[in-house]
Structure 1
Amino acid sequence: MEHQGFKYFQVLLRGREELLLAVSTMPHNEDKHGLSSHRLISPLDEDLEKMKNRIVFLIAGYARYRCPYVWLRTQQDSFLDNDSEAGETADNPLHLKSTMDWKVKDIALWEIVWELISMVTETTISNPFKVDFAYLDRLPEKERILCSGALLSFLQQIWIQSEPSLPFIDEVYQDIATLHNKHMTLLYSEAKSITQ
């Protein structure tokens, strides 16, 4: 099951305890279609290596460890050499503030995603959870209803769980408002077509 609709990342569930996070390394103004126009076809690590302009992470929430861990799954050599703490290897989980704080704070999954996007993107982006509305508008109507509803639910969780000082919370709220209007319009259209 793929989760699409964001400009800077894409998620693919891999089993009950694992998900893959693919983060775009290409500045968005150079990527005319956004990350969500591409599909993660296979969850196999060897297939992930073929992806260009993306860094892929494995986020695992194994019940026996009682906290999440994150591994780098692509571009290990260049990324670990330049950006990771000494002693980290591709076989060891990354040392992230969000995963280290998990045991002592109420950390949400979106905060881990935010930290990973911040690590990967070379240019500062104002909102790591920016919705790719162009992608959404290209979907068939029924898929658009499901996707807009899922995106709306996710962004509302960020809005509810975050501190008011979160630097991109105003942009998240703007996307919530836009998504809500689109979603309700789609639902009305679908309900009207059923009753006719």
Structure 2
Amino acid sequence: MNMSKMDQALKKKLQTFLNDMLKFGTVKGFKYFSMYLRGREEMMINILNEPHNLGSRSSEPTSPCILPSDVNPSSSFTSHNLPYDTQSLLMSQRSQMALSGYGSQGVGLPPASPSEEEPSKDLNSTVFLIAGYAKYSCPYVWVRSNHERLVRLTGEEGGERDSPLKLKCSAKWKDTDVKIWDVISELIKLCTYPVPRNPFEVDVEYIDCLPLKERVLVTGSLANSLQKIMLHTKDEKHYSGKVFDDLHLVTRKHFEGLQNLVRQKQIPGVENFLQEERKQQQNLQREAQVHARATQRKRYPSQTYTEQAAAAYGLQSTYGGPEVSTGRPADPFSQQNQYGRQGHVGFGYGQTPSMF
């Protein structure tokens, strides 16, 4: 594959990534992070540093975590090693110039806005910028707050704070299918302590506190996002089973909320829809009755409804008309025949059945 075709393929791949990021960036209700979009190419993500130390949480971790003994030293970074060495976590200026395509101008991989212009955040979380700039043809991540917690800054290079992170997702971008949730999972692994076993755990307390209408919207978007994570995540990922459990929980809450909205008639247009459905059902019933009457008139044009009923059961009409037979032999042991009721096919009282 020549360079032009490779560049086109990478640009197309980046557009797919940005489309996923635009949808995923609007979802709320995750326990360890929150997101907001800043244009088409940028998404800010706020990741909790130590959730179990927050005042609103218990003093102990509320969900299973990855222990230091479970961490593979050869794998990507984990929060058990905080803070990280600058050379191991941040891209060097030489690597940036080689990847940016502007190395001859001495330009690396800076974000659209420098770190100093970012608003200050609280110490309980770390803000990251995930961006897929078209000129780079690859998504990168920059730290936007609490740099000192993550990295031992040397102060030798002025661009350390605006250097992108060395992530596995960025390194394998050209060769594998990288999704936005893959990037988020890796960021939570290196930032949140202790490392949660499910980086996409749902915040049930937050969902239950929402108003009913907003809860239905939030759970619907959560269910859709968790389903995508399930479909595009390999089974060997340690959080696959946990995501499936949360998907089941969120889906149940979503349909429970929908049922409550219908009962309370809070869905716009639902009452009109139900009225239209009832009218259609009534019209169908009327049409069926008219059709049934028309069919009866065609089948018995000279008989009244009473005569039609008598004919259907093989009886004589009550006014003493001719006996009507269905062509079926009468039951000589039926209660009607035993008492010789007038108008029935068979034999009267004191008569002997012809079959004997």
TM-score, normalised on structure 2? 0.48
Gaps of 5+ in 2: 1-24, 59-115, 272-356
- C-alpha contact 1:7 1:28 (8 A) present in aligned 2: no
Counterpart CA distance in 2 for 1:131 and 1:45 is 32
- C-alpha contact 1:18 1:61 (8 A) present in aligned 2: yes
- C-alpha contact 1:80 1:88 (8 A) present in aligned 2: no
1:137-175 Cα distance to aligned partner (Å, 9 max, x none): 111111111111111111111100011111011111110
Counterpart CA distance in 2 for 1:177 and 1:46 is 38
- C-alpha contact 1:58 1:71 (8 A) present in aligned 2: yes
2:250 maps to 179
Tell me, yes or no, if structure 1 residue 146 matches structure 2 residue 170: no
Gaps of 5+ in 1: 35-43
Instruction: Give, as a single letter, the amino acid of the residue that structure 1 aligns with 2:37.
Output: L
Instruction: Give, as a single letter, the amino acid of the residue that structure 1 aligns with 2:39.
Output: G
2:31 maps to 7
Instruction: Give, as a single letter, the amino acid of the residue that structure 1 aligns with 2:40.
Output: R
Larger RCO, structure (CA 8 Å, separation 6 or more): 1
Counterpart CA distance in 1 for 2:244 and 2:29 is 16
Give 1:45 shift: 4.9
Counterpart CA distance in 2 for 1:45 and 1:175 is 37
The structure carrying a bigger strand percent of its residues is 1
- Aligned alpha-carbon RMSD (Å): 2.4
- C-alpha contact 2:50 2:194 (8 A) present in aligned 1: no
1:39 maps to none
Q: Select the structure of larger CA radius of gyration.
A: 2
Counterpart CA distance in 2 for 1:88 and 1:78 is 17
Counterpart CA distance in 1 for 2:54 and 2:236 is 30
Counterpart CA distance in 2 for 1:127 and 1:97 is 19
The equivalent position to 1:108 in structure 2, one of 166, 172, 179, is 179
Counterpart CA distance in 1 for 2:188 and 2:175 is 23
1:169 maps to 240
Give 1:31 shift: 4.5
Instruction: Give, as a single letter, the amino acid of the residue that structure 2 aligns with 1:111.
Output: D
Which 4+ stretches in 1 moved above 6 angstroms?
none
Tell me, yes or no, if structure 1 residue 61 matches structure 2 residue 85: no
| Partner SS, residue 44 of structure 2 | strand
Counterpart CA distance in 1 for 2:145 and 2:181 is 21
Give 1:65 shift: 2.1
Counterpart CA distance in 2 for 1:29 and 1:159 is 30
Counterpart CA distance in 2 for 1:52 and 1:2 is 24
Structure 1 residues 96 and 52 mapped into 2: Cα distance closer, same or farther (>3 Å)? same
- C-alpha contact 2:188 2:195 (8 A) present in aligned 1: no
| Partner SS, residue 137 of structure 2 | coil
| Partner SS, residue 90 of structure 1 | helix
Give 1:2 shift: 5.4
